[in-house]
């Protein structure tokens, strides 16, 4: 009993369309204007060039008919109606003037185009009714004028309304159909022939108008496609410019754009500007502890704080956690340094990230850019930054004349290392590790030395490891040191172990365990007889990767020793996470062990920690008998230092060991 449809019934989607005859739907489809803002504007712009002349023609025709029929037809037909036609034509002509159309918004234009569809046909029909009413009052000449005007207005209207094809169709039908039927009934000898010609021409013009409209649509579609491509190209160019100019995370200048800005500032400024390099201390810790989103928040906050610096020409992010700033050269040295100290304090202020408060500091290197190119300025600012980082705690250092000598020496030695034959310029020394309880040597530590001057001087790893990293030769250096140590010092054959130091880059290198394991296999050694000494620096740089690689090394059988323990702020925080076999007490504690109760307390705590972790404990840098006695009293069993043997070539080290035994 419900009112719903039966299962087999289908409701039409559009009832109005469903009721329309199929030929009407086809007619609408064939003469329909395109939708969309672009086409609305294009239609209106095109019609604004054609409709005013059309209404001008209608106005002229009305005036001519009024003039020709004046006195022959009633005043209603010769004055009142022509006046209304003229006023309407004038109003529509003004309404569709190009400058009027340009001022309208898209919604208004769309409404105008919709109204024109029926108003065009209706106005044409009114015009026909008027001339038909005039027709009986005219002579042959006047009637011919009516024929002529109706035909011309109809033909011109179809052509002028080509960009509104449905309006053109209605206009043509409204003019041709009633006028043709009327003229045929008037008995004019040529009426039938004229009507046939008029109908044929009307149909032809409608076809031409429709074809013209299709061409217009294709042209506008192509133009719209070109515009989209141009906009896309413009957006792409804008994106490329942004990528080439700005850092994606912080929005400040990237490295290339900053260097270009620095070069312009050096060329344009009346006084040489200052360049400051800013490096964040503790950023890696934030990334590892709180995640990369916190690290991103820190970088954005720091970039914003640098941007607030008074007197700054430009600032940018050079990469990672390093920023740079160009400071007004008019500032005296004291004010420039003071401004950078204030900036360092501002950067060190807490940074809020969600529910967390993040803290870090920034070291700054400062250099005036006088009489130097961009590269030279960066080198000197970086040298000043290096000094500041050695001081730590947000220090600011100025590159001074005395630093020029140190920089020149560093550049020269870097070039020598880059060009050096490492097999010929490296040598290994070996220092014994003593078991003080059993009075025997349990192994040796291999210590690397490099000569920049054919043996006149020998540098320790602290001096040349940074050179290896800077020149990309650290992997080559590590392979050479391990293979030579295992070739020269085969102490595992006597049940002893050999300790080899790894740099932070060695620990963090992808596939480090496999690389070192391959070198050991090639030397015919066993992994269990090799202790790999690592420092806390690798953990500071990337704790996750460092721990992962150390675990892989230990799984292969290597012993892992944590070197220089007892200094650094995060040693205790990291120690329980590491796969360790040995803790080495740093020589800085050993130096004051006999005289400083605090040092003894720390050493005792480290030893207790080693016992609790079930790993060995070695104290380094033991040089005096007093230090050795204190260490023994604390319970430390394994010792290393000048007291038990200096670093020597392997043959001399073995001979010294035999004499000591």
Residues 6+ apart with CB under 8 A from 225: none
Give the pLDDT score at 37.
80
pLDDT at 314 over 60: yes
Q: Which residue in 327, 340, 319, 406 sits closest to 369, CA to CA?
A: 327
Give the number of other Cβ atoms within 10 Å of residue 544's Cβ: 10
pLDDT digits over 134-172, tens only?
888 888 888 888 888 888 888 888 888 877 888 888 888
pLDDT digits over 43-102, tens only?
888 888 888 998 888 889 889 988 888 888 888 888 888 889 889 889 988 988 999 988
108-112 average pLDDT score: 88
pLDDT digits over 436-452, tens only?
999 999 999 999 999 99
Q: Which residue in 179, 132, 170 sits closest to 151, CA to CA?
A: 179
Strand 426-435 vs strand 440-450: parallel, antiparallel, or unpaired? antiparallel
CA atoms within 13 A on the CB side of 147: 23
Do residues 647 and 429 touch, judged by C-beta distance below 8 A?
A: yes
With bands split at pLDDT 50, 70 and 90, how would you rate the model's confidence at 402?
Answer: confident
pLDDT averaged over every residue in the chain: 86
**What is the C-alpha separation between 481 and 465, in angstroms, rounded?**
12
DSSP state of 164: S
Do residues 280 and 302 touch, judged by C-beta distance below 8 A?
A: yes
622-636 average pLDDT score: 94
Q: Which residue in 229, 253, 230, 232 sits closest to 242, CA to CA?
A: 253
The CATH number of 420-660, from 1.10.3720.10, 3.40.50.300, 3.20.20.450, 3.40.190.10, is: 3.20.20.450
Domain segments of the chain as ranges? 15-227, 255-399, 420-660
Give the pLDDT score at 568.
54
Give the pLDDT score at 661.
62
Give the pLDDT score at 16.
44
The verdict on pTM exceeding 0.95 is no
E runs forming strands in 518-622: 530-534, 559-565, 582-585, 616-619
382-388 average pLDDT score: 90
**Domain 255-399 in CATH 2.40.50.140:** no
pLDDT at 7 over 60: no
Residue at token pair 């021409």: 201
CA atoms within 13 A on the CB side of 650: 14
Give me Rg for the CA atoms of the chain.
47
């Amino acid at each position: 009993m419900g009112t719903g449809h039966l299962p087999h019934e289908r409701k039409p989607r559009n009832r109005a369309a469903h009721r329309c005859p199929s030929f009407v739907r086809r007619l609408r489809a064939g003469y329909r204007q395109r939708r969309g803002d672009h086409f609305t504007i294009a239609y209106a712009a095109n019609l604004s060039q054609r409709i005013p002349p059309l209404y001008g023609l209608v106005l002229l025709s009305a005036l001519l008919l009024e003039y020709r029929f004046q006195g022959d037809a009633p005043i209603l037909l010769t004055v009142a109606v022509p006046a209304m036609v003229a006023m309407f034509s004038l109003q529509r002509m003004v309404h569709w003037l190009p400058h009027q159309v340009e001022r309208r918004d898209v919604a208004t234009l769309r409404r105008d185009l919709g109204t024109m569809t029926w108003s065009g046909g209706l106005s044409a029909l009114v015009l026909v009714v008027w001339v038909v009413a005039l027709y009986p009052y005219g002579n042959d000449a006047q009637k011919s004028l009516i024929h002529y005007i109706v035909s011309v207005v109809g033909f011109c209207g179809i052509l002028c309304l080509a960009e509104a094809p449905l309006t053109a169709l209605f206009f043509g039908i409204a003019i041709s159909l009633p006028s043709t039927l009327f003229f045929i009934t008037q008995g004019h000898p040529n009426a039938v022939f004229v009507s046939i010609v008029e109908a044929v021409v009307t149909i032809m013009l409608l076809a031409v108008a429709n074809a013209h409209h299709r061409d217009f649509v294709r042209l506008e579609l192509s133009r719209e496609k070109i515009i989209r491509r141009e906009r896309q190209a413009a957006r792409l160019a804008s994106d490329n410019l942004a990528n080439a100019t700005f850092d994606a995370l912080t929005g400040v200048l990237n490295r290339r754009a900053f260097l270009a800005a620095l070069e312009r500032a050096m060329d344009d400024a009346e006084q040489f500007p200052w360049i400051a390099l800013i490096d964040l201390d503790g950023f890696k810790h934030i990334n590892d502890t709180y995640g990369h989103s916190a690290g991103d928040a820190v970088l954005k906050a720091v970039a914003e704080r640098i941007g607030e610096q008074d007197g700054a020409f430009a600032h940018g992010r050079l990469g990672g956690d390093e920023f740079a700033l160009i400071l007004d050269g008019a500032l005296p040295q004291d004010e420039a340094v003071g401004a950078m100290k204030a900036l360092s304090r501002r950067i060190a202020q807490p940074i809020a990230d969600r529910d967390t408060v993040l803290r870090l500091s920034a070291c700054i290197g400062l250099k005036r850019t006088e009489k130097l190119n961009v590269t030279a300025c960066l080198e000197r600012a970086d040298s000043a930054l290096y000094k500041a980082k050695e001081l730590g705690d947000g220090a600011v250092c100025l590159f001074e004349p005395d630093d020029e000598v140190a920089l020149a020496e560093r550049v020269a030695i870097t070039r020598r290392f880059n060009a050096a034959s490492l097999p010929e310029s490296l040598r290994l020394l070996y220092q014994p590790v003593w078991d003080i309880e059993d009075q025997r040597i349990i192994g040796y530590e291999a210590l690397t030395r490099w000569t920049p001057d054919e043996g006149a001087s020998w540098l320790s790893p602290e001096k040349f490891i940074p050179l290896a990293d800077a020149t990309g030769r650290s992997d080559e250096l590590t392979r050479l040191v391990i293979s030579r140590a295992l070739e020269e010092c085969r102490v595992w054959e006597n049940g002893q172990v050999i300790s080899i130091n790894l740099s932070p880059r060695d620990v963090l290198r992808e596939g480090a365990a496999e690389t070192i394991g391959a070198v050991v296999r090639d030397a015919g050694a066993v992994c269990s007889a090799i202790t790999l000494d690592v420092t806390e620096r690798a953990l500071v740089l990337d704790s996750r990767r460092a721990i992962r690689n150390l675990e892989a090394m230990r799984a292969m059988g290597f012993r892992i020793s944590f070197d220089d323990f007892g200094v650094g702020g995060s040693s205790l925080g990291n120690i329980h996470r590491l796969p360790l076999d040995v803790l080495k007490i740093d020589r800085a504690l050993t130096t004051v062990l006999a005289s400083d109760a605090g040092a003894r307390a720390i050493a005792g705590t480290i030893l207790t920690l080693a016992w609790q972790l079930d790993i060995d404990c070695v104290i380094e840098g033991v040089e005096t008998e007093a230090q050795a006695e204190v260490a023994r009293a604390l319970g430390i069993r394994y010792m290393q230092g000048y007291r038990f043997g200096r670093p020597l070539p392997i043959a001399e080290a073995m001979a010294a060991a035999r004499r000591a035994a």
